[in-house]
Structure 1
Amino acid sequence: MKKMIIHGGRKLTGEVVIGGAKNSTVALIPAAILSESVVTLDGVPHIKDVYNLMDILSAMNVHSNFNEATDTLTLDPTEIEFKPLPNGKIKSLRASYYFMGALLGRFGHAIVGLPGGDDIGPRPIDQHIKGFESLGASVSNEHGAMFITAPEEGLHGARIFLDMVSVGATINLILAAVTATGQTSIENAAKEPEIIDLATYLNNMGAKIRGAGTDTIRIDGVAHLYAKNPHTIIPDRIEAGTYLAMAGACGDGVNVKNIISEHLDAYLAKLEEIGVQMDVGEDNIFVYPSGNLQAVQIKTSPYPGFATDLQQPITPLLLKAAGDGIVIDTIYPKRVRHIPELIRMGADISLENDVIILHHVDRLQGAEVTADEIRAGACLMTAGLMAEGKTTISKVDNILRGYDRVVYKLKKLGADVEMIDD
């Protein structure tokens, strides 16, 4: 594991270019195994999850090459071999469960270990299982791995109503249904931009998916998929939101580039309510130096609401605001592992029945803190940049799972930051 050392107090200035969306990339890579030809992805972020997924694919004889100079990933699934994926790298990232749907769609069966990733509270996969069973598959949990098998005649289309909106279940069921016989409808589906990105990618391969971005997605199964290259990944709205909050908290004029602002409507509305001054361009947002900031209440909800992944990155900004800020995470109410770390840095925060209450503080003090998951780590980076003195963040590998070339980008903005081996 590595550590990040931040000497705070410097104002950030200049520009930062946002990478491809992590939450798209980790679905698009497993989806590549559905193609019967070579797949090329552009705009791939330099994050650990990409390399972990490449390792998982290698175990199935899927050859990959990541050209870091051009952000291009080439995947060749033409000689893929079915392999159980019970442990190892599967435990390193939550999105490994997309291999359930992808393997089921490609081979008619899958053996995949229960996913790992961030510990942010319960994230059950019961909706995934319910959907697979509706498509005709049998599902069992044996020794910590999911065994999923289609009937002899293959998967069949079905009407699936998700009991709760789930991005993971929506994506997994698309991957399984895209080659099933007949029509599948997924109702109460998630609407995230990353789902539209996946549907666009699959449709360009020859899939027949309609309604992505709405609450009902209809899929007419096809027998074969062939990649139409390249597919350019959408910008990462969570990375963008992180740098926007960072610019509001300690920026002296920061231009955040490669943004689709419509993906951030709810978030931008809150930044404006707080008092962050911005110019929103066609594909960039310029953040002016902050003036008077006012506390607000934030309540996360499924897209197009305020994203759960952005409640932690915006927290340090709220500490600068006058009054008491409130954060209620309705998606993952136990997503509070950043709170004790911020308190170590002098933050005045209380937690009452999963409601986070943030009281204004004049300054934060550098400290030794731990990034227990990706977005908590993003929060601590911003806090470290705001703080007086030296902040040491351990378990930085968690940050590197989700943030593209983060040290390079922070240094380019003028931050005093370095990575060291623990």
Structure 2
Amino acid sequence: MPPPEQTPLRAERVVPRPAEGVWPGLQDPGENRLRMTIARGLLRAAVRRMPMRLVWPDGTTEGGGDATSPDMRLIRPEACFTRLGTEGLIGLGEGWMVGDWDSDDLVGVLRCFTDHIEDLVPRPLRKLRRLYDRGQPHEERAEDAVVSQENVHRHYDLSNDLFQLFLDPSMMYSAAWFSGPVDAEGQHAESLTTAQHRKVDGILDLAGVREGSRVLEIGTGWGEAAIRAARRGARVTTLTLSIEQAELARERAERAGVSDRITIDVRDYRDAVGEYDSIISIEMIEAVGERYWPEYFRTVDRLLAPGGRFGLQAITMPHHRMQATKASYTWIHKYIFPGGIIPSVEAIEQTLARHTTMHVDDRRSLGPDYGETLHRWRDTFLAREPEVRALGFDETFVRMWDFYLAYCEAGFVSRYLDDWQFGITR
């Protein structure tokens, strides 16, 4: 599809609009010989400490790996190193998007970087990070909810058809919960849909959802959790900021025969009213933003009936890494989830203790299962690439989503990231 005129979110900043083929500044890495030279030296030194190889255009290799290790093939080395030197790890992702480098084992390459994230850059040079990490953009808006809705729109309103291409029939866009034996490659035999239903049921159990329960869901997705709660005999109010998600969720609830028990509102969680026996939220807190965590949990505390329970599923990272990177502007922020921040378990518990009457009394980790979930999503996405292109998405978008899914899979497989289900009560 031809790209439309580039309309800025604010007058001084043009943002990527992937669904429309708008990639401001992506094709030109600029020229900066000094930064290119520094980045080349740092990457070559880092690769020597990792079980991977750099492969130069002439076929020569270097690094700490061997022929069985993942290869990072340099197609346009100068452009690749210029991006790294100018934009840091944002430049690594952008280099993949435009084909400055390639790999037959993208997850393997990214896992090497993730496993060695603490020592990619020598400690004396880490202070130079501020030269390329300019921090999160600040939206000068009177309404926080407006910014939240725009952030949601940039990802979840890409296209319902796109998500239907690679998600399983449950349309759950979060970690599944697998069970049973695994094969030689560590993959489970059961279907992704079965594992997703187990995950949803686990959250409903932690929230105490049963027949007659008044349930609030913060973050509708495409309606599967609300549908399964309604099938238990609960009455569900579910909130989303995505108009496209709300429309499909209503259709799915109607097809499931439970639309009379589900109310789907396009509304910010801060505007929710009423009293609920159970509240659930599945991987929505990552989009809330650190400064809004107290308000998010206070809202749950305000809406929860006496004796009620809150079932929360959240992606997490180690607390020290969260503290070190929470102000950073990353590739994920720029291209996938603007405005997001992944909390730590400690941050969740501390926020509950300081700002609410609630505490965690049950928990389980689904981190390793998220690695397999992402692996299955990526396999399906790549297998259906012609259909993705038929929806109007271009080559850069396809490579961007390939990188996104591989990047996330590497994070969970390496245990840099985790995913928790929490049972929370007063």
Q: Into which bin does the TM-score normalised by the smaller protein fall? A: under 0.3
Higher relative contact order (CA 8 A, sep 6+): 1
Q: Considering fraction of residues, name the structure with more strand.
A: 1
